[in-house]
Amino acid sequence: MMDPESRALIRIERLTDSVYGLSFLLILLQIDRPDPSVVLNTQAINRYLTDQLPSLRTYITTFVLVGFYWQSQLSMASRFKRSDATHRWLQLGSLMGVALLPFVNDLLDLMPSQATIQVAYSLVLVQIGFFDLLTLLHGWRRPELLVEPPQLQRRWHQLLETALEPGVCLLSIGVAALLTPAWWEWSFLLLLPGYALLRWADR
């Protein structure tokens, strides 16, 4: 018979998948659909598609960023075989940020060049990563929850991998607040060489 801590882990994994899936769906639904009551000619269709470009850019950015977190979440879940109360609360803290993403994504779609909105968006992403990082550290503190406690070298790699995205999001806050909102979106591109370096170091 499965012990309560193992059952709790399965339930938190199901909740995580549901929250991430719903967040993706709500973000997608924020893209305006054409009015079916209006007969669209070629010019109207082109104008509609052009008007949707900012929304599509915001959607793609959010989708990719949340995709990175989801991959990290899958990797994190594979390391745990049990869940205690602290682990569950940390996971709920991360999921609270995921659930907020459709809201801040909608604000960003309405005011894409507003530094305050960009900072709020980045803070939500930082929240997700911060709680994921605390979950990782909690697993090291309670090795009986883990499938296999990692070696020291592997711990450093996991720590850097988990801290990369919230670190880049913190940097994006500085870019929006201290430099210029026009560069804010571009700061997330630092994730690409960051993950590439981690993959190279893991070989």
Q: How high is the pLDDT of residue 126? A: 95
For 37-67, the pLDDT digits (tens) are 665 677 777 777 777 777 777 788 888 888 8
- Residue 18 makes CB contacts below 8 A (sequence gap 6+) with none
Give the per-residue pLDDT at 142.
93
Predicted confidence at residue 141, as pLDDT, reads 94
Pair of tokens at residue 165 = 């995205």
Question: What confidence score (pLDDT) does residue 133 get?
Answer: 94
Write down the pLDDT at residue 65.
Answer: 80
Residue with tokens 């909690």: 138
Q: How far apart are CA 56 and CA 52, in angstroms?
A: 6
The CA-based diameter of the chain, rounded to the nearest angstrom, is 64
pLDDT bucket at 36, cuts 50 / 70 / 90 = low
Average pLDDT, the chain: 86
pTM of the model: 0.85
> Tens digit of pLDDT for each residue in 90-141?
999 999 999 998 889 888 888 888 999 999 999 999 999 999 999 999 999 9
pLDDT of residue 35: 67
In tens, the pLDDT along 147-179 reads: 998 888 889 989 999 999 999 999 999 999 999
Nearest-10 Cα torsion for 157, 155, 72, 124: -90
Indicate the domain borders of the chain.
4-202
Is 48 buried (19+), middle (13-18) or exposed (0-12) by CB count in 10 A?
middle
pLDDT band with cut points at 50, 70 and 90 for residue 2: low
Look at residue 9 in the predicted model and tell me its pLDDT: 85
Determine the 3-state secondary structure of 80 from DSSP.
Answer: strand
Residues 6 or more apart from 69 whose CB is under 8 A from it? 98, 125, 128, 129, 132, 165
Please state the rounded mean pLDDT for residues 21-30: 82
